[in-house]
Amino acid sequence: MINVSVSKLFNQVDQSEFVLYAEWEDTGFKIIVLRPYTLPLNGEMGRENANYFLQDESESFEKYLEKTKHAFSGKNADIQFFLKDDTFTWKQQNILIRGEITVHPLSNILILSNTLKQSLELYQQCQECALNLKNENEHLIKVNTKLIGDIEEITNIKTTMEKDLYMKFISLLNAKKKKIRELQQALDNTRKTKTMFDKTTDEESESERSDVESRKKLCTKSPETKIYKSNEQETSSKNIRKNLKRFSSSEDTSPEPSTSKNNILQNIDTVSAMKTKQIYSSPSEESEEDMFA
């Protein structure tokens, strides 16, 4: 199958449109210019003629054919076409001539018939391709519609699941918060109870400590008390002796023997000694009773 292209171009000379038919080969290309109510014009360009229009020596003929095919497509706005008399020219930015072909009226009907045949074959292929593309497009539209419906359904299911999960999460979170508050309250109550026990123990320990200190003070003060009481006893015994002496001096004339006087003195000493012993013994006994009470 030959490589052909058809495009509608604009003639800058008479400001009219024309159809350009081109056949592309490895050695060059042929063109046919079709205009309304005018004989077709044909021409060709080979490798020898194309070398004159190459931009530089490094540009190859294949590269030039590719650029020319792109220019004939009419998609490049920088390329302008000029058809005047028997010369067909295309320029870049209306300055640089990119190609020039001498055209002649088509007089041989066989050439026109062959061109028409190729055009019809190409048209048939284009129709088949367009039909296939149309069927494929309809199938893709159906698939796309089905996918859109599936996506909407999945989105609705996802939204419902998210709402359910959110409600469950809220319930679980509230239950956890309630449990944490209960545990915190129980912990606070435990701390308060422990604080009360600590205070009671401290008060008891302080009372016990004060009792021990008072007992120690009592023990430390008891010898002084003993000495004080013993001093009082000695003073009282001395007073008794003085009174006895006075009594004895006043009764020197009495006929009582001296033994009775001595007995009285011994009894006084014995009584004073017993009282002194009671003084020393009684505080210690009281302190022991207080300690073990």
* Side chain identity at residue 240, one-letter code: I
User: What pLDDT band is residue 226 in, cutting at 50, 70 and 90?
Assistant: very low
pLDDT tens for each residue of 66-120: 889 898 988 888 889 999 888 999 988 877 888 899 999 887 777 777 777 877 7
Instruction: Enter the pTM of the model.
Output: 0.45
User: What pLDDT band is residue 199 in, cutting at 50, 70 and 90?
Assistant: low
C-alpha to C-alpha distance for 162 and 6, rounded to whole angstroms: 59
Q: What number of other Cβ atoms are within 10 A of residue 92's Cβ?
A: 16
Q: Burial letters for 224-258: b for 16+ Cβ neighbours within 10 Å, e otherwise? A: eebeebeeebeeebeeeeeeeeeeeeeeeeeeeee
Q: What is the mean pLDDT of residues 158-165?
A: 93
Q: What are phi and psi of 55, to 5 degrees?
A: -70, -40
